[in-house]
Amino acid sequence: MRSYKTSQALFERAQHHIPGGVNSPVRAFKSVGGHPLFIKRAKGAYLYDEDGNRYIDYINSWGPMILGHAHPPVVQAIQAKAADSTSFGAPTELEIEMAELIKKMVPNVDLIRMVNSGTEACMSAIRLARGFTGRNKIIKFEGCYHGHADAFLVKAGSGLATLDIQSVPGVQSYVAQDTITVPYNNLEEVQKVVRQYGKEIAAIIIEPVGGNMGCIPPAPGFLQGLRELCTQQGIIFILDEVITGFRLTRGGAQELYRIEADLVTYGKIIGGGMPVGAFGGKKEIMERIAPLGNVYQAGTLSGNPIAMIAGYTLLNELNNTPDLYTALNEKSKLLCEGLSEILKRKGIAHTINQVGSMLSVHFGAGVVRDFESAKACDGELFNRFFHHLLQRGVYLPPSAFESWFISNALSVDDIHQTLAAVEEFEA
Ligand code: KE4
């Protein structure tokens, strides 16, 4: 049996100083039970906790570590850059190079603004859409999570689903009433809402692949249907690619699904593990952002040299790793096929959703295509599955309402070790 003594003691101590002992709720193991592990270091596909236990990592910092932890070129670039100071609060050539690199990799971005988190990116994109259209309402999808800005904390996924927080104290009612939520993959419902509120709607914001209710792929034609609706009604179509950006392909979901956003948001991978987000899109919309326009958005540390060099180096590594996305997709497929074969043989009803190197396992019969069907799955069984694997050195996201993320540091042997641990699971 693994010892967790140090993590337990650290969690005890942390709770005296930090709300819930964590700096982000979903890390707290609240829904899976037990206490969080305190991580000492990580390298490649592995995490090492404070008790010296090693884990195969399927969280990868919730997405950023697509090439594995402590990827040498990223670490070396940060170390070198830090020697020249960590922040100036003034423009740098590196920020131009970063914007030029992103524009080379993703479609439909004429101008891009760097911020410090996915939340900031999505919050700013919504403000810009409202400022550009002069309209107030937004449509988001149940179970999607776009960060913790007030407008998004309505029937959201990720930590809110994990903790079953359906309405958040402090979010004023007038804010919530301008956020209309509809079920994911339900185009008819969106069409109904647009018929009712048409010219009041500033934006539709969506995760092109749901990543915060488990992994939920878009139904065929769903994204295209939203695109057409937005074009017809003058609604700004915002793709939240904080998870999918640079993960599904170099060009993200826009490239994979050949879908054109008006605005797109990024985070996670774009910072290489440092706090970075970004929002960008069509020139006619983005030029409304201050100081060019009057839609104000700002940030002391936006585009700071350490975050930029980390993200810039990682994005270049993505471009210079031959057949990266083929490798990531093959590893994901190998894991999913193995999981399905074992769970089927054990007679455990399940669904596995996978898009590229993001995936999730849902316990229960039937297709999981939206928040309702994700919530209808057997959460208690997931929790037992989570701890069974954790005990055997496999670290899943501590919630059924999250995606697993594959890094390219994961080896076939790691996948076999994971499957061997699943083999011992008894429902
Ligand atoms: P951040 O503000 O946490 O950088 O990004 C918010 C965000 C925006 N959009 C999408 C699609 C996201 O998934 C996120 C954040 N993802 C969660 C996990 N699914 C972050 C983990 C956490 O909250 O600790």
Distance CA 252, CA 269 (A): 11
Cβ(162)–Cβ(399) below 8 Å: yes
To test the pocket of ligand 1, the residue of 141, 146, 158 to mutate (highest count of ligand atoms within 8 Å of its CB) is 158
Q: Which residues contact 338 (CB under 8 A, 6 or more apart)?
A: 415, 416, 418, 419, 422
- The amino acid present at 6, given as its one-letter code, is T
To test the pocket of ligand 1, the residue of 242, 268, 399 to mutate (highest count of ligand atoms within 8 Å of its CB) is 242
Q: Report how far apart the first and last C-alpha atoms of the chain are (Å, whole number).
A: 20
To test the pocket of ligand 1, the residue of 124, 212, 355, 401 to mutate (highest count of ligand atoms within 8 Å of its CB) is 212
User: CA-CA distances (angstroms) from residue 371 to 47, 156, 358, 366?
Assistant: 30, 9, 17, 13
Q: Is 157 in the pocket of ligand 1 (CB under 6 A)?
A: no
308-317 pLDDT tens trace: 999 999 999 9
To test the pocket of ligand 1, the residue of 18, 27, 39, 62 to mutate (highest count of ligand atoms within 8 Å of its CB) is 62
Q: Is 239 in the pocket of ligand 1 (CB under 6 A)?
A: no
Q: Is 241 in the pocket of ligand 1 (CB under 6 A)?
A: no
Looking at ligand 1, which residue's alpha carbon is closest to its atom 5?
118
Angle at 413 between CA 409 and CA 415, to 5 degrees: 75
Element (H, E) at 101: helix 93-105
Active site residues: 145, 240, 268
Q: Are strands 54-57 and 46-49 parallel, antiparallel or unpaired?
A: antiparallel
Looking at ligand 1, which residue's alpha carbon is closest to its atom 6?
147
Task: State which ligand 1 atom lies nearest to the alpha carbon of 24.
Answer: 24
Per-residue model confidence as pLDDT tens for the chain (427 residues) = 788 999 999 999 999 999 999 999 999 999 999 999 999 999 999 999 999 999 999 999 999 999 999 999 999 999 999 999 999 999 999 999 999 999 999 999 999 999 999 999 999 999 999 999 999 999 999 999 999 999 999 878 888 888 888 778 889 888 888 999 999 999 999 999 999 998 999 999 999 999 999 999 999 999 999 999 999 999 999 999 999 999 999 999 999 999 999 999 999 999 999 999 999 999 999 999 999 999 999 999 999 999 999 999 999 999 999 999 999 999 999 999 999 999 999 999 999 999 999 999 999 988 999 999 999 999 999 999 999 999 999 999 999 999 999 999 999 999 999 999 999 999 8
Q: How far is the CA of 380 from the centre of ligand 1 (A)?
A: 24
Distance CA 371, CA 183 (A): 7
Q: Is 143 in the pocket of ligand 1 (CB under 6 A)?
A: no
Residue 414 pairs in a beta bridge with none
Q: Is 24 in the pocket of ligand 1 (CB under 6 A)?
A: yes
Distance CA 282, CA 239 (A): 13
Q: Which domains does the chain have, with CATH numbers?
A: 5-70+323-423 (3.90.1150.10), 72-319 (3.40.640.10)
Q: How far is the CA of 146 from the centre of ligand 1 (A)?
A: 7
384-397 pLDDT tens trace: 999 999 999 999 99
Q: Are strands 179-182 and 137-141 parallel, antiparallel or unpaired?
A: parallel
φ and ψ of 201, to 5 deg: -95, 120
Helix (H, G, I), strand (E, B) or coil at 205: strand
Cβ(158)–Cβ(145) below 8 Å: yes
Helix (H, G, I), strand (E, B) or coil at 246: coil
Q: Is 159 in the pocket of ligand 1 (CB under 6 A)?
A: yes
Q: What is the pLDDT of residue 144?
A: 97
pTM: 0.98
User: CA-CA distances (angstroms) from residue 193 to 203, 219, 229, 236?
Assistant: 12, 19, 11, 15
Q: Is 271 in the pocket of ligand 1 (CB under 6 A)?
A: no
- The amino acid present at 295, given as its one-letter code, is V
Distance CA 135, CA 120 (A): 20
Q: Is 140 in the pocket of ligand 1 (CB under 6 A)?
A: no
Q: Is 68 in the pocket of ligand 1 (CB under 6 A)?
A: no
Q: Is 212 in the pocket of ligand 1 (CB under 6 A)?
A: yes
Q: What is the pLDDT of residue 303?
A: 98
Element (H, E) at 394: strand 394-395
φ and ψ of 225, to 5 deg: -65, -40
Task: State which ligand 1 atom lies nearest to the alpha carbon of 120.
Answer: 2
